[in-house]
Amino acid sequence: MKFAAFSLVICTICAVSLVHVSVAQISPDDFVKAHNKVRKEVGVVPISWNKTLAAKEEELAIPRISSCNVIEDPFGEIAVQASYPLTAAEAVALWASEKPYYDYDKNTCVGRNCEHYTQVVWNESVTVGCTRAQCRSGYWFISCRYYPEGNTPLERPYKKH
Ligand SMILES: *[C@@H]1O[C@H](CO)[C@@H](O)[C@H](O)[C@H]1NC(C)=O
Ligand SMILES: *[C@@H]1O[C@H](CO)[C@@H](O)[C@H](O)[C@H]1NC(C)=O
């Protein structure tokens, strides 16, 4: 029993330091720049970094690394996985690749999901916090959380001018 409790403490420490190391390799600015490039294309206001959201994603990453089963919180969170240590720009580009599937007039995704894209360009989501972590399997994931959250049902991500 004593031994089990001890290993648990060690594992928790391992997980925390693993997540911290991964996060330190990507600067918040990389996430912000990548978002703002995609947002600018459709005339959406720039996004800025929110430390509280980043801390939340870091905290959530710890239990996620064991299974790598990252289930997105439908209220303001998006995530992506890869077999390699994907960069902020790569993660945002993967989300932005859904752009052709967003039908603005019908305000729906056609042929494929596009909710990652609509969250990235959600005009009212003016702050973001992200993290990157490596799972025990070796896979990596990036997750971002937005405030205010986007993808509000029946609303469009932005106004077309
Ligand atoms: C950052 O996000 C939190 C929610 O987690 C929110 O309460 C706070 O107002 C946000 N900060 C800014 C500057 O919007
Ligand atoms: C974004 O929101 C601001 C108000 O916060 C508004 O003035 C602007 O027109 C909006 N832009 C788009 C593209 O929806």
The number of the ligand nearest the C-alpha atom of 46 reads 2
25 Cα–ligand 2 center, Å: 33
Q: What mean pLDDT value characterizes the chain?
A: 89
Give strand pairing partners of 134: 140
pLDDT of res. 75: 96
Taking the complete model, does pTM exceed 0.85, yes or no? yes
CA of 52 to the centre of ligand 1 (A): 7
60 in ligand 1 pocket by Cβ < 6 Å? no
Name which residue sits closest to atom 5 of ligand 2, judged by CA.
124
For the stretch 98-138, pLDDT in tens is: 999 999 999 999 999 999 999 999 999 999 999 999 999 99
Task: With cut-offs at 50, 70 and 90, classify the pLDDT of residue 23.
Answer: low
Q: Is the pLDDT of residue 61 over 80?
A: yes
Atom of ligand 2 nearest to the CA of 43: 13
